Amino acid sequence: MKIAYISNYLSKKFIECHSNGINFSVSGTLKSTAIARAFLKAGHEVTIFSPGITVCNKFIKSHSEIINYPEGKLTVKYPDIVSFRKCSLINSLLLHSALLKNLCYKEFDVILFYNITLDAALNLHLFKNKLRVLEYEDNIFNKSTRGKNNKGLWFKKRLFKYVINRTDCSIIVGKAMLSNLPYIKKIQIPGAIFEDVIENISFERKKWDGTFPIIVSLAGGLHYSKGADLIIQALDFMEYPVEVRFYGSGIIDNYTMNLIKNVSIRHKIKNFGFLRHNELIKILGNESHILINSTRSMGVEPNSEGYPFKMLEYAAIGRPIVSSTIGRLDDEFNECISFYDSEEPEEIAEAIMRIVKNYDIYSLKAVALQKRVINEFSISGISEKIQSFIKEINKSV
């Protein structure tokens, strides 16, 4: 089948040429790459139509790229892009024009679209006699990071209804997503494990000789939603010395910096900044005793949306994991993780100490989980899931 994939995908070439080397769509691009490669491996043709981004402060002419992957060639088409803030509507219309140009939408058998967006709404009617697949990761009704606001709710409700009524099936990150819509067939794919992870991990379990400090590492952004401040506050309740390591982009805010200044001298805090991904994976596996996902839930129910990409990568590294409830997946997965239910520092400290006191048990669980996620969520694993799903959908159409 020929698949038209609407996604805010940014290739390496686009990033280098137009956004000064900064990737403003990291998780979206990673997920889109994984899904596209999985379809390619299953024998389908994939063309990504991307509206780009609105932060480059320039006009970008329409252009195409061919990206070679082990599974095949991925075509990426960018329409003319008005890359200035508050121009997303213009870019959505330009993307629509790109699909209409020479009636190229007629070439495709499937439209796959990333999240419920205006881009999807503007183009779904073109594919009314073809398979329409929603890749749903970010709940359109999710509240903002601070203040728990949800702007434009009236419009979002109408947009959701319009898109869902024109959707045949969905790839979701959490089982609770679209649970109130049983007539839409769904497959759960919360993330992907790429080669740069698999090639830089150890398949031997981590052993700890009982000496302190124990090293707890957080990978990813350091802004409010990632909860770096929560880890610092938890240090006050730790029974043993801990060394917290931060790996990621962004600047630690003043509030967290002030917390760091008051941390007991028996603890250590180190910020290593941004590292190349393959180097980061290797360091996390070789040097960390515990990996932590302190992403704030923001009122989001477990297993519902926005599943942290890092959770599957952590699992693939094969080291014990502490996580907020946002990292819950299924019973088999959850059994291997030390979760904390509230975002109280004392409870976070308890989740870390639970692993410290039972390290051999959790390190064995971590290795078992590693095998599972690599088998299921490598490109090959995802491809098998998607191919079975598409065959099931086609039988029912």
CB proximity list for 229: less than 8 A, separation 6 or greater: 253, 255, 256, 259
Q: Give dist(CA 3, CA 48) in Å, integer.
A: 8
Looking at the fold, whether 389 and 371 belong to one and the same domain comes out as no
Number of domains in the chain: 2
Q: Looking at the predicted structure, is the pLDDT value of residue 142 above 70?
A: no
Q: Give dist(CA 383, CA 150) in Å, integer.
A: 35
Q: Looking at the predicted structure, is the pLDDT value of residue 219 above 90?
A: yes
The whole-number pLDDT of residue 395 equals: 74
Q: Give dist(CA 203, CA 342) in Å, integer.
A: 32
Beta carbons of 49 and 99 less than 8 angstroms apart: yes
Q: How many helices (H) and strands (E) does the chain have?
A: 14, 16
CB proximity list for 191: less than 8 A, separation 6 or greater: 31, 34, 173, 307, 309, 311, 312, 313, 377
Encoded amino acid at 68, one letter: N
Q: Give dist(CA 173, CA 304) in Å, integer.
A: 7
Using a pLDDT cut of 70, give the percent of the chain over it: 94
* pLDDT band with cut points at 50, 70 and 90 for residue 140: confident
Looking at the fold, whether 57 and 167 belong to one and the same domain comes out as yes
Looking at the fold, whether 70 and 49 belong to one and the same domain comes out as yes
| Mean pLDDT of the region 296-311 | 77
Q: Looking at the predicted structure, is the pLDDT value of residue 148 above 70?
A: no
Looking at the fold, whether 243 and 132 belong to one and the same domain comes out as no
The candidate with the shortest Cα–Cα distance to 345, out of 228, 264, 254, is 228
The whole-number pLDDT of residue 6 equals: 97
The whole-number pLDDT of residue 176 equals: 84
Higher per-residue pLDDT: 390 or 395: 390
Looking at the fold, whether 203 and 63 belong to one and the same domain comes out as no
Q: Which of 77-81, 245-249, 360-364 has the lowest mean pLDDT?
A: 245-249
* pLDDT band with cut points at 50, 70 and 90 for residue 131: very high
What's the pTM? 0.88
| Mean pLDDT of the region 292-320 | 85
Higher per-residue pLDDT: 324 or 27: 324
Q: Looking at the predicted structure, is the pLDDT value of residue 120 above 70?
A: yes
Give SS3 for 371.
helix
Q: Looking at the predicted structure, is the pLDDT value of residue 145 above 60?
A: no
Q: Within 13 A of 158's CA, how many CA atoms are on the CB side?
A: 4
8-state DSSP, 333: H
The dihedral through the CA atoms of 359, 216, 313, 287 has a sign that is: negative
Higher per-residue pLDDT: 51 or 147: 51
* pLDDT band with cut points at 50, 70 and 90 for residue 206: very high
Higher per-residue pLDDT: 241 or 299: 241
Which CATH number covers residue 334? 3.40.50.2000
Q: Looking at the predicted structure, is the pLDDT value of residue 284 above 80?
A: yes
Instruction: Find where tokens 């610092």 sit.
Output: 232
- Phi first, then psi: give them for residue 129, nearest 5 degrees: -105, 15
pLDDT tens for each residue of 368-379: 999 999 999 999
pLDDT tens for each residue of 69-107: 999 999 999 999 999 999 999 999 999 999 999 899 999
The candidate with the shortest Cα–Cα distance to 74, out of 33, 103, 111, 113, is 33
Encoded amino acid at 281, one letter: I
Q: Give dist(CA 133, CA 113) in Å, integer.
A: 6
pLDDT tens for each residue of 153-187: 889 999 999 999 999 999 998 888 888 898 899 99
Looking at the fold, whether 348 and 382 belong to one and the same domain comes out as no
Q: Give dist(CA 176, CA 186) in Å, integer.
A: 11
The whole-number pLDDT of residue 150 equals: 64
Q: Domain residues for 57?
A: 2-192+378-396
The whole-number pLDDT of residue 149 equals: 60
Q: Which of 139-143, 207-211, 281-285, 358-362 has the lowest mean pLDDT?
A: 139-143
Q: Which of 57-61, 86-90, 273-277, 370-374 has the lowest mean pLDDT?
A: 273-277
Looking at the fold, whether 222 and 368 belong to one and the same domain comes out as yes
Beta carbons of 120 and 7 less than 8 angstroms apart: no
Give SS3 for 70.
coil
The whole-number pLDDT of residue 147 equals: 47
The whole-number pLDDT of residue 224 equals: 86
Q: Which of 126-130, 224-228, 278-282, 346-350 has the lowest mean pLDDT?
A: 224-228
The candidate with the shortest Cα–Cα distance to 322, out of 300, 297, 290, 287, is 290
| Mean pLDDT of the region 211-222 | 93
To 10 degrees, the CA torsion angle through 28, 33, 34, 36? 120
| Mean pLDDT of the region 358-362 | 97
The whole-number pLDDT of residue 397 equals: 59
Looking at the fold, whether 85 and 220 belong to one and the same domain comes out as no
Using a pLDDT cut of 90, give the percent of the chain over it: 77
Looking at the fold, whether 170 and 199 belong to one and the same domain comes out as no
pLDDT tens for each residue of 249-267: 777 888 899 999 999 999 9
Beta carbons of 70 and 383 less than 8 angstroms apart: no
Looking at the fold, whether 75 and 221 belong to one and the same domain comes out as no
Looking at the fold, whether 178 and 200 belong to one and the same domain comes out as no
Q: Can you name the residues that pair with 170 across neighbouring β-strands? A: 134, 186
Instruction: Find where tokens 């006050």 sit.
Output: 236
The whole-number pLDDT of residue 317 equals: 98
Looking at the fold, whether 115 and 241 belong to one and the same domain comes out as no
* pLDDT band with cut points at 50, 70 and 90 for residue 20: confident
pLDDT tens for each residue of 321-349: 999 999 999 999 999 999 999 999 999 99
